[in-house]
Amino acid sequence: MAQTNLPEVSSKPFGQDGKALDGVRILDFTHVQSGPTCTQLLAWFGADVIKVERPGVGDITRGQLVDVKGADSLYFTMLNHNKRSITIDSKHKQGKRVLDALIKTCDVLVENFAPGALDRMGLTWDYIHKLNPRMIVASVKGFGPGPYEDCKVYENVAQCAGGSASTTGFRDGPPLVTGAQIGDSGTGLHLALGIVSALYQRMRTGRGQKVLCAMQDGVLNLARVKLRDQQRLKAGPLTEYSQYGEGIPFGDATPRAGNDSGGGQPGRILKCKGWENDPNAYIYFITQAPVWEPICDLIGEPTWKTDPEFATPKARLPKLNQIFGRIEQWTMTKTKFEVMNLCNAVDIPVGPILSMKEIAEEKSLRDTGTVVEVDHPKRGKYLSVGNPIKMSDSISEVTRSPLLGEHTDEILKDVLGFNPDEIEEIKKSGALSAPKKEEKAA
């Protein structure tokens, strides 16, 4: 049955009736990557994200991996688009006054401090909800409740604790972490979904709630196929893994599988023309059963289509090294893009290994807003990722990250409603500025 409590259908053209999260205000206590990933995504969808930073210091990533002297680092700028910055000393009496006012007027508080840090600031769940019972408090932590919940976690620690590292790499090598930030950014994406869900539930209940995303949990969610394979081991060897065809026994845990496909279809990364000098002249090639015959035709092995040694998926499994070796002889005669074009024409799934340089220069990614060019007053123009989620009626625009404390005055005036005398009192108290350095004696 259709819902009856929805507003009338907008008569404005798609993309011209605001953004998905217009009217939502986020109190952003996040820093580094996991939390800022979450709040930046919410900002791209139209939320007013107010980033609270320490006076004179700000988010630690402003000064990490600096490539332009005197400017915020790319580490910071690429994680804090579309936000406003206010500087507050949370330990100062007048600073606490401003924080309390922000809690009363915001919808969501997002934080990724070390365990217990928010409580030590006096911002306990009970305190926050006494001020604003509609407030949603969203947190990123390393681990959920259990023996490790008080441990600090960083990206690679999360990848290791979440099962990703143990299943990444080649069988005869050490565990490996991936270059994709599945611990930090991956958890931030999970948290954003939790926040939006809590906002939706609040429309029915009228109250806020706590939203927790543990980095270990987020990584495991992204590595779920490896937990699938752990259980499949009880029924016998994992036949789509290369080691099965090599006659190597399986242990009692999901092994590292190199570049084998995780979806059950045999796949490998193969060399292409120019691989001797280009570290990215490779392509991922999947020998999907429905397109086995076109594969045989392309690589010049038409007899494999009917040969009982190769004609069925089951027959091919013990011979994957031989099969991919033959396919690689063919791919090495062509560039990765030539292989892609030839394979796509007959529906063979392949993927060129694109370098970050190639991605940065890819016009189609610029056209869709997946890669954007942003102008910054201190560092000039730079490239960043745009919103990876495209909505037809909520068009994302990427604006630059804020300078430290850039929006302090307008937030005090326009958001919190302090009058000029109150603003002057708060500013004179030193609650919004860094302590002055003592002058050395002459």
Give the C-alpha separation, 414 to 289, whole Å: 62
The Cβ of residue 22 has, within 10 Å, a number of other Cβ atoms equal to 12
- Reading the block at residue 74, the tokens are 């790319």
From the candidates 107, 184, 229, 260, give the one annotated as an active-site residue. Answer: 184
AA letter at 44: W
The Cβ of residue 122 has, within 10 Å, a number of other Cβ atoms equal to 13
Residue 110: partners with Cβ closer than 8 Å, 6 or more residues away: 26, 27, 28, 29, 30, 35, 38, 39, 138, 139, 191, 195
Q: Phi and psi dihedrals of 267, rounded to 5?
A: -150, 150
Helices (H), 280-372: 292-299, 313-316, 320-331, 336-344, 356-361, 363-367
Strand partners, 136: 108
89 classed as catalytic: no
Give the C-alpha separation, 21 to 392, whole Å: 14
- Cα–Cα nearest to 384, from 356, 351, 353: 356
- Cα–Cα nearest to 232, from 244, 215, 218: 244
The DSSP secondary structure of 180-232, one letter per residue, reads S-TTHHHHHHHHHHHHHHHHHHHHHH----EEEEEHHHHHHHHTHHHHHHHHH
- Cα–Cα nearest to 43, from 81, 85, 86: 81
Known catalytic residues are 184
